[in-house]
Amino acid sequence: MQIIHHTLDLRTQVKKWHMAGETVCLVPTMGNLHEGHLSLVDRAKQLADHVVATIFVNPMQFIQGEDFDTYPRTLEQDSMALFERGASTLFAPGVEEVYPAGLEHHTEISVPSMDGFLCGASRPGHFNGVATVVSKLFNLVQPDTAIFGQKDYQQLLVIKRMVDDLCIPIDIVSLATVREDDGLALSSRNGYLSESDRIKAPVIYQQLQSIAEQLKKGNRNFADLESVGKKNLKEQNFDPEYLSIRRQADLTLPEASDTDFVVLLAARLGTTRLIDNIILS
Ligand code: PAF
């Protein structure tokens, strides 16, 4: 596996692949890789001749006061895992390589149809940062396909909508959330949980499952389901930011006649912000 740190080297490599008529699949990450990320690599290998995994902790998507400085950076361990999993290339640029002119006044991509609500309400500017860096990675790697996990469901729709709106010729593939045995969605931020909070954390998925069960049974009292879920979370010392039943396709509010839902939730447990969702049709 080759490790590339500079955009110029990446462009040279990508050009060679394209000239040989070979396909490329991109797996963008912020590192501190877990089985969720590695399952994206497994799928990417099935889709293209070359898998380019990227590791870049993107300052533009962290809002003030968030964990940009302390976000776990484990490049050595991550590159070993990618090598073992068969990625052909790791692109791990520094901040100055991605933002040579700095962040101030940098061009930003915004996807207003998918922003301003749910995570977009509590993290203003976050999705602009995601859309901007992902579009830069798309331009640098020029992949045929890019893969994202469904755990960041709103992020996935932001990227899909950006690709549609800007006619970007890349197929977006998504993969189901990978979970611990007790149901907790894998996340690099799970490492922030204290021992006792880690034991409690699967309650989030249990709440999502119980709402999904109700929806499957035909319960369409969305407001009631959401407020009972939030109450249950509060009783177990979670501080819910949102718990919302939305339409799967575009995150708009559902009606009783709808059948394809996604139930999304963000909550704090101690100082850790956890997100998760359940998709049901
Ligand atoms: O999901 C992530 O890890 C990041 O938001 C992404 C897509 C790699 C962009 O920085």
Q: Which of 152, 175, 198 is the last residue of a domain?
A: 175
The pLDDT confidence band at residue 277, using thresholds 50, 70 and 90, is: very high
**Dmax of the chain from CA atoms?**
59
Helices and strands of the chain, counted as H and E runs: 10, 9
pLDDT tens-digit readout, 84-119:
999 989 999 999 999 999 999 999 999 999 999 999
Q: Are residue 147 and residue 244 in the same domain, yes or no?
A: no
Q: Find the length of the chain.
A: 281
Domain annotation covers residue 224: yes
Atom of ligand 1 nearest to the CA of 54: 8
At residue 114's C-alpha, the angle toward residues 130 and 263, to 5°, is 105
Q: Which atom of ligand 1 is nearest to the CA of 29?
A: 8
Confidence class for position 10, pLDDT limits 50, 70, 90: very high
**Encoding tokens for residue 1?**
């596996």
Give the tens place of pLDDT for each residue, 220-245. Answer: 999 999 999 999 999 999 999 999 99
Domain limit, last residue, from 125, 149, 175: 175
39 and 144 in a single domain? The answer is yes
Q: How confident is the model at residue 19 (pLDDT cuts 50, 70, 90)?
A: very high
Please name the residues in contact with 189: beta carbons below 8 A apart, sequence gap of 6 or more: 67, 272, 273, 274
Tell me how crowded residue 182 is: count the other CB atoms within 10 A of its CB.
12
Asked if the structure places residue 254 within a domain, the reply is: yes
Does residue 281 lie within any of the structural domains? Answer: no
Strand ranges of the sheet holding 261-269, from the earlier edge strand across to the other edge:
239-247, 261-269, 272-280
Same domain, 133 and 69: yes
Asked whether residue 272 falls in the same domain as residue 222, the answer is: yes
Does 49 share its domain with 110? yes
| Residue 183 placed within a domain | no
Is residue 197 assigned to a domain? yes
In this structure, are 259 and 150 located in the same domain? Answer: no
* Domain residue limits at 117: 2-175
- Tell me whether residue 37 is one of the annotated catalytic residues: yes
Would you say residue 182 lies in a domain? no
Give the pLDDT score at 203: 98
Cβ–Cβ under 8 Å, residues 223 and 242: no
Residue 49 confidence (pLDDT):
97
What is the CA(87)–ligand 1 centre distance, in A?
Answer: 18
Domain contains 159: yes
Mean pLDDT of the chain: 97
Q: Where does 20-74 have alpha helices with state H?
A: 35-47
- Find the 243 Cα to ligand 1 centroid distance in Å: 22
- Give the pLDDT mean for 138-166: 98
CATH number of the CATH domain containing 36: 3.40.50.620
> Helix, strand or coil for residue 137?
helix
Number of domains within the chain? 2
Tokens of 48: 């293209």
- Residues whose beta carbon lies within 6 Å of some atom of ligand 1: 28-30, 58, 61, 130, 133-134, 152, 155
Looking at 175, 204, 223, the residue that finishes a domain is: 175
Give dist(CA 73, CA 30) in Å, integer: 8
CATH number where 209 lies: 3.30.1300.10
CA 223–ligand 1 middle distance (angstroms): 31
Question: Are 88 and 214 contained in the same domain?
Answer: no
Indicate which atom in ligand 1 lies nearest the CA of residue 28: 8
**130 CA closest ligand 1 atom index:** 9
Residue among 132, 131, 140, 183 nearest 161 (CA): 131
Which residue has a Cα nearest atom 1 of ligand 1? 29
Residue closest via CA to ligand 1's atom 6 equals: 29
Nearest-CA residue for ligand 1 atom 8 is: 29
Do 147 and 205 belong together in one domain? Answer: no
From ligand 1's centre to the CA of 159, what distance in Å? 10
Are 57 and 196 within one domain? no
CA of 130 to the centre of ligand 1 (A): 6
Specify the residue with its C-alpha closest to ligand 1, atom 9.
Answer: 130
205 and 168 in a common domain:
no
Query: Is residue 55 included in any domain, yes or no?
Result: yes
CA of 28 to the centre of ligand 1 (A): 6
In terms of DSSP H, where are the helices of the chain?
A: 7-19, 35-47, 75-85, 95-98, 119-122, 126-141, 153-165, 195-200, 203-216, 222-235
Nearest CA to ligand 1 atom 2: 29
Residues 132 and 102 in one domain: yes
- Mean pLDDT along residues 8-12: 97
Best mutation site among 90, 133, 162, 277 for ligand 1 pocket (most ligand atoms within 8 Å of CB):
133
Q: What is the pLDDT of residues 172-190, one digit of tens each?
A: 999 999 999 999 999 999 9
Q: Does residue 220 share a domain with residue 95?
A: no
Q: Would you place residue 78 in the very low, low, confident or very high pLDDT band (cuts 50, 70, 90)?
A: very high
Residues 34, 37, 50, 126: which is the catalytic one?
A: 37
